[in-house]
Amino acid sequence: MRANMRKEINKAVIANMGLPDDTVLHGEVVMSSLDMDSLDEIELFMELERLFNIDLPDVRLHEIRYLNDIYILVAEILTD
């Protein structure tokens, strides 16, 4: 897994949700606890695709429950 991949994903989540820059996120964060609506999710996933130059499969996006699920998905795609 890329060393700073998690930091980059966390920054994207923080920016997308308008959270304070000093917000500490970890893999156990439940995505629904961030009060993301479906548009927020789409915008976040589009930002991650742009940031990492990847395509996130729609079918896998529905499986995401925790921030760690995003870390794993992005890492899997980057190593393929």
Domains of the chain, earliest start first? 5-79 (1.10.1200.10)
Counting Cα atoms < 13 Å in the Cβ hemisphere of 10 gives: 16
Taking CA atoms, 9 is separated from 12, 48, 77, in Å, by 5, 7, 14
pLDDT at 59: 86
For residue 72, the model assigns a pLDDT of 94
pLDDT for the residue 3: 63
Q: What is residue 73's predicted lDDT score, i.e. its pLDDT?
A: 94
pLDDT digits (tens, 9 = 90+) for 13-53: 999 999 999 998 888 888 888 888 888 889 999 999 999 99
Q: Are 76 and 1 in contact (CB under 8 A)?
A: no
CB 5 within 8 A of CB 71: yes
Please report the pLDDT score of residue 54 as a whole number.
95
Cβ–Cβ under 8 Å, residues 47 and 14: no
**Would you give the DSSP letter of residue 27?**
T
